[in-house]
Amino acid sequence: MSKGKGTKDKNEISRELIFETIVSEAAGLYNLLITVSTGVFGATLLFLDRIAPSPTKASLLCLALGWLMLILCTVACVWIRWKNLESGRMVLEGKFKEASDIDKPNRRLTKFAIFGLFCGIVLVAIFGFINIVHKGDINERNCKMCQNKEKPEKVQSKKDITERAIPYGSIETPEDEQKVGTSDESQGDSGQSNKNTETK
């Protein structure tokens, strides 16, 4: 029987060790949430002109909501850490009921902080994706405009110019007028010669 008790005591994990593990894991989680949320916020704020030089209105709304969620995540984590210190102080004073009352809303705040971080990252990613696509469209339009400018204009012949300038071809060109004038003069000369022959 004494052997069994000895093995049980060796394999049993103390409540203090479990509590220390939970506290360290919680501290690591809150530090991770604060680090990631502040890092994403700072990176987008610092490199905003490179990510989106000319952002659209819809993407700016996504960015504003993403920043708001990241800020709320950071604030929630700081509030939780402060409340954990308060509950720890209550436990040391033997006020276990008060400590439990403090810890209950902290669980909800922890879930909210995780959700806020997730939503903030997704919204910032949507902002970046929208502006990358928008930047690609602008570059494509600029390339098309450059290609159109580089294309040499076709040399137009006189005929094309006169056809475009004169809509129905009712007005004759100076060359045609000269031709018509010479033909009229030749017709007039031939008519006079005919008259002279008739008078003779």
Query: pLDDT band at 124, cuts 50/70/90?
Result: very high
pLDDT greater than 60 at residue 132: yes
pLDDT greater than 60 at residue 152: no
Res 191: pLDDT: 52
Res 155: pLDDT: 52
User: Tokens 């960015």 identify what position?
Assistant: 63
| Higher-pLDDT residue of 133, 156 | 133
Distances (CA, A) of 117 to 34, 76, 90, 99: 9, 11, 30, 27
pLDDT tens for each residue of 29-72: 889 999 999 999 999 988 888 877 778 888 899 999 999 999 99
Task: Report how far residue 68's alpha carbon sits from residue 73's, in angstroms, rounded to the nearest whole number.
Answer: 9
Burial call 72-110: b when 16+ CB within 10 Å, e when fewer:
bbbebbeebeeebeebeebbeeeeeeebeebbeebeeeb
